[in-house]
Amino acid sequence: MAPGPVVDRTAQNVERVSQDLRSVYSSGKTKSVEWRVSQLKSLLRITTHYEKDILEALRSDLNKPELEAFSHEVYGVSSSCELALKELHRWMMPEKVKTSMINFPSTGEIVSEPLGVVLVISTWNYPFKLSLDPVIGAIAAGNAVVLKPSEVAPATSSLMSNLLGEYMDPSAVKVVEGGVPETTALLEQKWDKIFYTGNSKIGRIILTAAAKHLTPVVLELGGKCPVVVDSNIDLKVAARRIISGKWACNSGQTCVSPDYIVTTKEYALKLVDALSCELENFYGKDPLLSNDLSSIINSRHFDRLTKLLDDEKVSGKVVIGGQRDRDKLKIAPTVLLDVSQDSLVMNEEIFGPLLPIVTVAKIEESIGLINTKEKPLAAYMFTNDKKLKEEFIRSVSAGGMCINEIALHLAEHTLPFGGVGESGMGAYHGKFSFDAFSHKKPVLQRGFNGDVAARYPPYTPWKLKFLKAMLSGNILSILRALIGW
């Protein structure tokens, strides 16, 4: 089917956006400290003055409880802005490096420079934070930026478009709203970096499009984040933390949420009891009525999740929850016990309020089980056993890991947040965001003194001897070579 006029207009619009941003970037405006600071301050103002509107948009898109919306999204963005404002001067400073004897005398430093015009493609589950956190990094690093928010969270997308359009510098920071046609048109253009948050299927499409222009990318993807639950632990606290990281994070629609649990056959029932008890404390006897649980984002995902529940391979395995309300797009916190490896729920990223428990005879087997799957964005273990913990850290590869906690590492801006393998490439948060959107350019300075004739043709045996001595760094050999010994 030939592209219709709407698609053509989209492609034209997007091409103009890209060209406009390039000429603004070439003017050097976005490189100045003043511009970066002014933009970061505007973002901070938006986050603080419009907090109510942001919380409302998140309630509208995701039925997100205010407390989750505040602590995960609004606070997340305002603290990133504040950190960037506080640290910008330090981040922008060149890093001096020691240069070796081979290049003596010389001085070296690594200078951070912006990449140019960058594209941030965001997602729907934390639509505010996952759009603006990367944008903060892009601006702090001195780039011009296009943000493409997810159309699946339309209220937040529209709010961001309005607020950024009004308060940010529209010549260098643009928002392009829309769906597949707009994203496709954007990916045809050349960008100096693409930052994508989403799933690995689209991740491949982004990377293929980036390859055409040799554009470097950051892909923040997902995966099945496992939680290994050992015995001899404080089960009540563990249960609370698991619940907190699963259902109190957007009803499990979070890239670092526990996807499945692995525990011993013996311990499983105790775990189920503890989860059941704490879930009732958190959400009451009828969770579908609780205002503290996010809804499923849309009917497509709702149907996807109920299909996992209705898979005949897991019939009879629901031990907690299972209730659903299609009109309200709500699914109660649901735990399934003893699911088989070939069930649907164990073969895709769940991204919802279903938590399967897989049982093993000995807890050590959990590691082998986890390693049959792709590398996840996060892996968790609750244990007091030092040896088990060390084996887990040594043998399981994941973006990040937490022991006795869930998702803690996201809270800290000094830790890089990103995946490995199927869960992604690149990292950000804190200074890592600044670095993700920078080119680290080494600058090596020499004078005209201190020349080593041995480097130049015509080549002679003496020069070879001298070079060998220089490259070995051995002072004695250098002296010997110099004297001609």
Partner 1 sequence: MEGHSNNIDLEMEMKELRQTFNSGKTKEESWRISQLKNLMSMLVEKEDQINLALKQDLGKHPVESFRDEVGPLIKSVNYALKGLKKWMSAKKADLPLAAFPASAHLVPEPLGVVLIISSWNFPFGLSFEALIGAIAAGNAAVLKPSDLAPASSSALAKLINSYLDTKAIKVIEGSSNVARVVMTAAAKNLTPVALELGGKCPAVVDSLSSSWDQKIAMKRILSAKFGTCAGQACVAIDYILVEKKFSSTLVELLKAAILSVFGENPKESNNIARIINKSHFSRLKNLLNDPMVQASIVHGGSLDEDNLFIEPTLLVDPPVKAGIMIEEIFGPLLPIITLEKIEDSIEFINSLPKALAIYAFTNNEGLKKKISSGTSSGSIVFNDAIIQYVADSLPFGGVGESGIGRYHGKFSFDMFSHEKVIARRSFLVDFWFRYPPWNDHKLHLFRSAYNFDYLGILLIMLGLKRS
Contact call for residue 27 and partner 1 (CB under 8 A): no
> Which positions from 430 through 449 interact with partner 1, judged by CB under 8 A?
439-448
Contact call for residue 35 and partner 1 (CB under 8 A): no
> Minimum Å distance from CB 388 to partner 1?
13
CA distances from 308 to 193, 255, 296, 356, 357 (A): 36, 18, 14, 11, 14
Among 444, 262, 244, which Cα is nearest to 341's?
262
Sole window of 2-10, 108-116, 175-183, 316-324 interacting with partner 1 (rule: CB under 8 A): 108-116
| For partner 1, the closer CB: 161 or 404 | 404
Contact call for residue 102 and partner 1 (CB under 8 A): yes
Residue 107 to residue 101: CA distance in whole angstroms = 11
- The residues with which 318 forms a beta bridge, in sequence order, are 336
| For partner 1, the closer CB: 463 or 480 | 463
Return the SS3 of 356. strand
> Which positions from 157 through 196 interact with partner 1, judged by CB under 8 A?
192
| For partner 1, the closer CB: 12 or 71 | 71
> Minimum Å distance from CB 299 to partner 1?
25
Sole window of 122-130, 163-171, 304-312, 452-460 interacting with partner 1 (rule: CB under 8 A): 452-460
HSE (side-chain half, CA atoms, 13 Å) at 205: 13
> Which positions from 209 through 268 interact with partner 1, judged by CB under 8 A?
210-212, 214, 216, 219, 221, 233-234, 237-238, 240-241, 243-244, 248
Write b or e for each residue in 145-163: b if 16 or more Cβ atoms lie within 10 A of its Cβ, otherwise e: bbbbbbebbbbbbbbbbeb
Residue 279 · residue 292 · CB < 8 Å: no
How big is the CA angle at 125 (ends 116 and 189), to the nearest 5 degrees?
A: 30
Residue 355 · residue 335 · CB < 8 Å: yes
> Which positions from 371 through 410 interact with partner 1, judged by CB under 8 A?
371, 384, 393-395, 397-405, 408-409
> Minimum Å distance from CB 291 to partner 1?
8
Contact call for residue 456 and partner 1 (CB under 8 A): yes
Write b or e for each residue in 357-389: b if 16 or more Cβ atoms lie within 10 A of its Cβ, otherwise e: bbbbeebbebbeebeebbbbbbbbbbbebeebb
Site string for partner 1, 271-310 (x = CB under 8 A): ----------xxxx-----xxx------------------
| For partner 1, the closer CB: 175 or 228 | 228
Q: Quick one: angle between helices 265-283 and 235-246, nearest 10?
A: 60
Catalytic residue numbers read 220, 255
Return the SS3 of 423. helix
Sole window of 84-92, 99-107, 126-134, 264-272 interacting with partner 1 (rule: CB under 8 A): 99-107
Count residues binding partner 1 (CB under 8 A). Answer: 105
> CB count, 10 Å around CB of 191?
25
Site string for partner 1, 117-156 (x = CB under 8 A): ----------------------------------------
| For partner 1, the closer CB: 234 or 303 | 234
| For partner 1, the closer CB: 66 or 338 | 66
Return the SS3 of 220. strand
| For partner 1, the closer CB: 341 or 395 | 395
Strand ranges in 226-374 using DSSP code E only, listed in sequence order: 226-229, 260-264, 318-320, 324-325, 330-331, 334-337, 354-360
